[in-house]
Amino acid sequence: MALPRITSPHAKGKNRTQQVMLQVLLATVPAIIALTWLFGIGTLINLLLASIFALGFEAAILRLRKRPALFFLKDYSVIVTAVLLALALPPYSPWWLTLVATGFAVVFGKQLYGGLGQNPFNPAMLGYVVVLISFPVEMTSWPAPHSVGMSEGLQQILGIAALPDGWAQATALDVLKTNKSLTVDELWTQNPAFGHFGGNAVEIVNLAFLLGGLYLLHKRLFTWHAPVGMLAALAVMSLLFWNGSGSDSNGSPLFHLLTGATMLGAFFIVTDPVSGATSNLGRLIFGIGVGVLVYVIRAWGGYPDGVAFAVLLMNLCAPTIDYYTRPRSYGHSKPTRGFKLGD
């Protein structure tokens, strides 16, 4: 009698990582459209340069590691890193700034630790922080909305000429931090950096990132815990320390939610499954920590927007969060914390 043929239940289908990365890229489209409409082709050039540099760095390091470059490049993870980094950089950033940021993100943020799935820090935020600390002038030179022409923008990117002073402006977070004389109400009516609720134009970009994030949440590419934790913590902190509309005000909860890189961080950065926490409770704690640190840095720190710093600090805490929020093992009444010799 012939024995029945027993085979393993192999799952067939397209690369899961590739599909996830493509969904993330699709979710950034609303923000790309908003940034392009507000600031012109600067964002598109940032995206193009960052993607080329990222692919080049990734391929070079993979060759040095004697790994098949094409196989790893096809998962699109390095493109996602490049796109998120490019969207965080000011439009019309000099080409060398994009090169340095992308190089650190790919080489030191990802490949140094072994590639995708091994990195303890979010690569895009690591690259962003490196250039923010090293080149603060270039990183705070945001153009005014609908002000930069193609010719002037290309000269800025190539380093031929800087944008005219009237075409660049400080962000609303920077103005609020350095303001010592005008009330918030006066800033809102007199300073062009302020929009209806948050930063001028930036509030539209934040809503675009929110739209893309809700799409990813609908697709169940991540759970609600990390983004809700971050946004709720930021809102609560800004509400607790909101001291009215005087000259020493730190801004309202709505202002903090719709300015800076809030929505980019909430839906595209803290949801990183590699550098964040793994359990639902851990993700919630991770998000809350990021939200608290963002407000602390914005209100009392040395930088106007603290999303990148907050994420990297919480990346350091992720292993500890995982240790104390580890799900209960099957058959155990409480989470296992390790074992004793002789067990």
Q: What is the pLDDT of residues 35-78, one digit of tens each?
A: 999 988 989 999 999 999 999 999 999 888 888 877 778 888 99
Q: What is the 3-state secondary structure (H, E, C) of the chain?
A: CCCCCCCCCCCCCCCHHHHHHHHHHHHCHHHHHHHHHHHCCHHHHHHHHHHHHHHHHHHHHHHHCCCCHHHHHCCCHHHHHHHHHHHHCCCCCCHHHHHHHHHHHHHHCCHHHCCCCCCCCCHHHHHHHHHHHHCHHHHCCEECCCCCCHHHHHHHHHCCCCCCHHHEECCHHHHHHHCCCCCHHHHHHHCCCECCCCECCHHHHHHHHHHHHHHHHHCCCCCCHHHHHHHHHHHHHHHHCCCCCCCCCCCCHHHHHCCCCHHHHHHHHCCCCCCCCCCHHHHHHHHHHHHHHHHHHHHHCCCCCCHHHHHHHHHHHHHHHHHHCCCCCCCCCCCCCCCCCCC
Q: What is the pLDDT of residues 109-163, one digit of tens each?
A: 998 888 778 889 999 999 999 999 999 888 877 887 877 777 777 777 887 767 6
Q: What is the pLDDT of residues 228-245, one digit of tens each?
A: 999 999 999 999 988 766
The chain-wide mean pLDDT, for the chain, equals: 83
